[in-house]
Amino acid sequence: MTDPTIPALDPGERLLCGPGPSNVHPKVLESMQLPMNGHLDPDFWDILVDLVTGMRALWRRPEGGLTIALSSSGTSAMEAGFLSLVDPGDTVISCHWGFFGSRLNDFAHRVGANVVELTADFGQIVSVDRIMETLAANPDAKIVGVVHAETSTGAEFPLGELAEAMRASGSDALLYADCVTSLGGQQVEAEAWRIDYGYSCSQKALGCPPGIAPVTISERGVAAIQRHQGAVPYYYDFEELSKYWIDRPITYHHTMPILQYYALYTGIRLALEEGLEARWARNADAGRYFQEEIRSRGYELLADPDHQLVELTAVKVPEGVDGKEVQTRILREHGIEVGGGLGPKAPPIWRVGLMGVNAHRETADRVLAAFDAVLPR
Each of the 377 residues of the chain gets a pLDDT tens digit; together they read 889 899 999 999 999 999 999 999 999 999 999 999 999 999 999 999 999 999 999 999 999 999 999 999 999 999 999 999 999 999 999 999 999 999 999 999 999 999 999 999 999 999 999 999 999 999 999 999 999 999 999 999 999 999 999 999 999 999 999 999 999 999 999 999 999 999 999 999 999 999 999 999 999 999 999 999 889 999 999 999 999 999 999 999 999 999 999 999 999 999 999 999 999 999 999 999 999 999 999 999 999 999 999 999 999 999 999 999 999 999 999 999 999 999 888 999 999 999 999 999 999 999 999 999 999 76
Domains, the chain, in order of start with CATH, read 15-21+275-374 (3.90.1150.10), 26-272 (3.40.640.10)
CB 197 within 8 A of CB 176: yes
Does residue 249 have a cis peptide bond before it, meaning omega lies within 30 degrees of 0? yes
Q: What are the start-end ranges of the E strands in 196-295?
A: 197-199, 213-217
Q: Is 80 helix (H, G, I), strand (E, B) or coil?
A: helix
Give dist(CA 377, CA 373) in Å, integer: 9
CB neighbourhood size of 336 (10 A): 22
CB 245 within 8 A of CB 52: yes
Maximum CA extent, the chain: 73
Closest CA to 183 of 51, 271, 262: 271
Give dist(CA 247, CA 228) in Å, integer: 21
Q: What is the pTM of this model?
A: 0.97
Q: Is 162 helix (H, G, I), strand (E, B) or coil?
A: helix
